Chain A
Amino acid sequence: MPGSSAAPPTAPPASRADRVRALATDRLTLRGPLLPILHAVMDEFGWIAEEDLPIIADVLNLSRADVHGVVTFYHDFRRTPPPAHRVQICRGEACQAVGAQGLYEAATDRFADDTTIEVAEVFCLGNCALGPSGTIDGHLLGRLTLDRIDAAAAGWSR
């Protein structure tokens, strides 16, 4: 995280609640600040916890239901901690034209029993001329194969 390494080692760690409140307060001057706030929480913690919602709602003077409604609308806003490793496979038409559906099903099966690896579908990564496209731990890849995913997974401690 930016700045976190610069904090003096003696300072008590800020609680999650304090950090969420600070992230929200820092963005209050933006027009329509809720999505930038939720992205900031995602960037720092990797997910949005139930207890974050009333804090954000309080800062923005919104109802908790309003914030809940927005969080649950968007696929990006995870409500559970992220897994150690994440594989996304595009199921868009352009990638399906070069076998993405089979790849998605095979990868889902391969890691079905592994709670440290999440295989998720995604609809278009903008790499449609070189499909099947996907990401492995956030890195975009083209002409993706199950072998390539296996090779990455082989390097992960499980």
Chain B
Amino acid sequence: MRPVVWVPADAAAVAAGADEVAAAFAAAGATVRRNGSRGMLWLEPLVEIETPAGRIGYAACTPEEVAAVLEGSRESIGLVEAHPWLTYQDRVTFARVGRIEPADLTAYQLHGGLLGLRRALTLDPAAVVAEVTASGLRGRGGAGFPTGVKWETVRTAAGEVKFVCANADEGDSGTFADRMLIEGDPLSLIEGMTIAAYAVGAHEGFVYVRSEYPHAIAALRRAIAVATDAGILGASVLGSGFAFTLEVRVGAGAYICGEETSMLDSLEGKRGEVRAKPPIPALQGLFGAPTIVNNVLSLATVPMILADGGAAYAARGIGRSRGTQVFQLAGNIARGGVVEVPFGVPLRTLVEDWGGGTRSGRPVKALQVGGPLGAYVPATQLDLVAGYEELAAAGAMLGHGGIVVFDDTMDAAAMARFAMEFCAKESCGKCTPCRIGSTRGVEVIDRIRVGPPESRAAEVELLQDLCLTMERGSLCAMGGLTPLPVRSALTHFPEDFGGSR
């Protein structure tokens, strides 16, 4: 019998040589299946061979090792699903990622797919929204707004035409969960968007994917074609008579288009400039129509909530952070990847137990949590627990769940300067505090770093004043939150700015 070999087609695995490994297995006569990644990215390409006992993993496989893997003479990591990195997780949103081929509808349904949509279609739309509200799900894009409340606003808004938009413009450095979900289990996003559309009475949906994610774009387009052929999308969703179609739109390299109103303008074919709110997109969104804009992970979690009930999801987590969070371990980390666990996990557990500390082996100096607009958390605060309010209370931000680890060679002042530089480069330019403030921020940090010591105190005061102006006066989170990494770097690591503790 031909051996069955799983080789991830995830972009991170492909970057590590997975395509060449897959081709070598095919040439050696194996049946090759291309799954998503298990999320143990430091082991990629992680090849799995099917056995009666389950799938046995071979880490960091090269084309030269194919024969040895097939003979069983190469060292394995044992049963992949028994690996402690996975067994200690509670995978809800990522339940299928890595286990199935992304466009395999049969496997999708064998692993619980479509149960949520089928149940939703038997319910009144208001009851669907109520289930999502009961789950306590909050927007996973970073803002943490209650998803059910947003949906209810769109559901009750007047309008013949409404839209559902998935924000897959995952531009934050240190975050890659949207990409991995779309590449590994795109049908769950499609199912979640279809449930959202049914709940609010929308018949058209868009997924706005950043151009930096070509593998995700291809995987999603394939899955939409499969779903359309199977009648999951189209004029009558699963024979219900409810119509919903879905289209992929590709971004064009502008970070700001991950901001929801900027994304809407980009979808409309305009410059991706931020809109003033109100009106909120739920009432006047895409082309002025009531619009759901949700992050990929929020939407992909909805099928499970409808299948198992909102209470099952809400049973996980702490405080007002219900359910699970897909954490992404990135930067200078020994074992980087995706960890999905209920809220409330200490940062130390993520970084040390799952992550194994720094890749360099040096001490951790800081984490940047929540993307480029998130705070630098010093190593002394590793015992903070991950929840929206819990991190906010410490002056930090959960954001999209990305954790970037830095070792003790990090220059916090250089990173603060980079935060301002990034803002200057990626600002949409609509509001002055962000457009001008970011450039002035680079200049003042330069003067603090290399200017005369006697003027340092005055320059720091100026920087604090500038941060306040940006925070209070900016139209969106880009200008409003850039002060977060800057101030936290200054607060926790004044010595990097030429000051003393």
Contacts and interface: CB of A to CB of B under 8 A. Distances in A.
6 contacts: A30-B247, A92-B372, A96-B418, A123-B425, A123-B426, A126-B170
B336 interface: yes
B372 to A, nearest CB: 6
A91 to B, nearest CB: 8
Nearest to A73: B271
Interface stretch (A1-9, A14-22, A31-39, A106-114): A31-39
A129 B337 contact: yes
B269 interface: yes
Interface of B: 11-12, 14-16, 41-42, 44, 170-176, 179, 204, 211-213, 215-216, 247, 249-255, 266-273, 287, 328-333, 336-337, 359-360, 368, 372, 402, 404-407, 410, 414-415, 418, 422, 425-426, 428
Contact of B336 (A34, A70, A130): A130
Contacts of B359: 98
A149 interface: no
A76 B175 contact: no
Contacts of B15: 127, 130, 133, 139-142
Given A74-B253, A93-B173, A142-B16, A129 B336 contact: yes
B16 A128 contact: no
B252 A76 contact: yes
A65 to B, nearest CB: 11
Contacts of A96: 415, 418
Interface of A: 30-36, 38-39, 69-70, 73-77, 90-98, 101, 122-131, 133, 139-142
A35 B336 contact: no
A4 B470 CA distance: 51
Given A70-B271, A74-B254, A129 B426 contact: no
B250 A39 contact: yes
A70 B402 contact: no
Contact of B213 (A39, A90, A91, A126): A126
Nearest to B410: A97
B271 A69 contact: yes
Contact of A97 (B170, B252, B372, B406): B406
Given A95-B173, A123-B173, A129-B176, A76 B211 contact: yes
B331 A130 contact: no
Contact of A142 (B12, B271, B333, B418): B12
A46 B385 CA distance: 47
Contacts of B216: 126
Given A36-B250, A126-B216, A140-B14, 5 more contacts: A33-B269, A39-B250, A77-B252, A93-B404, A129-B12
Nearest to A142: B15
A39 B330 contact: no
A93 B252 contact: no
A132 to B, nearest CB: 11
B176 to A, nearest CB: 4
Given A39-B252, A96-B418, A127-B15, A32 B337 contact: no
Contacts of B330: 94, 97, 128-129, 131
B16 A93 contact: no
Contacts of A75: 252-254
Contacts of B174: 92-94, 128
